[in-house]
Amino acid sequence: MIKINLKNIYNEEVTIQMVDNEFDANFITHSGTFHADEVMASVILLNKFGSLKLFRCNKPVNNKSFVYDVGFGKFDHHGIDFNETRENGIKYASCGLVWKMFGKDIIKKLGIKDIDMFFESIDKNLIMDIDRDDNGQALKNEPEIKGQTIPNLIASFNPTWNEDDKENENFLKALSFANTIFNNMISKMIAKESAKKIIEEKINESKDGILILDCYMPWKDIVLSSSNPKAKDILYAIFPSKRGGYNVVATPKESGSFDVKRPFPSNWAGKEDKDLQKISGIDTITFCHKNLFICACKTLDDAKKIAEIAIKNRG
């Protein structure tokens, strides 16, 4: 019998205990090679129910336990007749089914105002890719170099072919890793939610396509999705850099893209310090990314100059 202690998203300590007897368990999932599907589902369940007594097997008979990803029940997607699919075509796996059932309860306890939006955001940014992977739905335009997705990283905790039997021990290591990912994702989404009101106010205060923030906040998605007409005109955001000075960042054309609405002048690309200061005529500019989506400088006044020159630039 092995166990670990973790902190859930409410900062409460919970215990995950792998039991040796199926009838001592209150949660059951499949044994053998494990996947992000049932591992992340376990994380969701610990946030809903607290401590888990977990048993892993392939043919559960304890019908008093919560069974998932095995046994062809409500939270198992392997049945021949199962075909529950999202509107975007991503099929549900057990992780998605568990999130669908309990996600809003978990979010409600956090005091989030827009529960539906928050639920969909976690589904889109975390759960869907786990479901996609477990159902064998390929990523579109999958690159030749294998991307290290969350499902890949969680799967890497499985014992290698020449290791002694450490399945349950490694399952708990994977669960701890997945719990950290889940907690981080929730924390970032809460922070983003709290930033929304501030950024909307800053959008309203923006002038000539320049958004000025008092500190870095996750501004891009909020600007791109804002219903404020001024948001559509924002071409650059300015905020203090954690390295000192200020960053000037171009607004992307769409979420997650480095393809921006208005790049910085092409002759600034990859230039730094004195070379860049001479070309741009800006005293404290220190850096322009070679892909023309971010610049750095030492003063707020020069940050504004960078944005103003770039807005007038046509190539």
DSSP letter for each residue of 93-127 = -HHHHHHHHHHHHHHHHTT-S-HHHHHHHHIIIII
Phi, psi (deg, nearest 5) at residue 31? -95, -175
| pLDDT computed for residue 217 by the predictor | 95
| pLDDT computed for residue 313 by the predictor | 81
Tell me whether residue 25 is exposed, middle or buried, using C-beta atoms within 10 angstroms of its C-beta: 0 to 12, 13 to 18, 19 or more: buried
- DSSP summary character for residue 20: S
Q: pLDDT tens, 69-115?
A: 999 999 999 999 999 999 999 999 999 999 999 999 999 999 998 99
- DSSP summary character for residue 85: B
Question: Residue ranges of the chain with pLDDT lower than 50?
Answer: none
DSSP letter for each residue of 269-281 = TT-BHHHHHHHH-
Residue 270 CA neighbour count, 13 Å, CB half = 1
Domain boundaries of the chain, sorted by first residue: 2-191, 206-312
83: tokens are 């075909």
| pLDDT computed for residue 139 by the predictor | 74
| pLDDT computed for residue 138 by the predictor | 80
185: tokens are 């994702």
| pLDDT computed for residue 257 by the predictor | 87
DSSP letter for each residue of 240-290 = E-TTSSEEEEEPBSSTT---BSSPPPGGGTT-BHHHHHHHH--TTEEEE-T
pTM of the model: 0.84
| pLDDT computed for residue 163 by the predictor | 78
| pLDDT computed for residue 85 by the predictor | 96
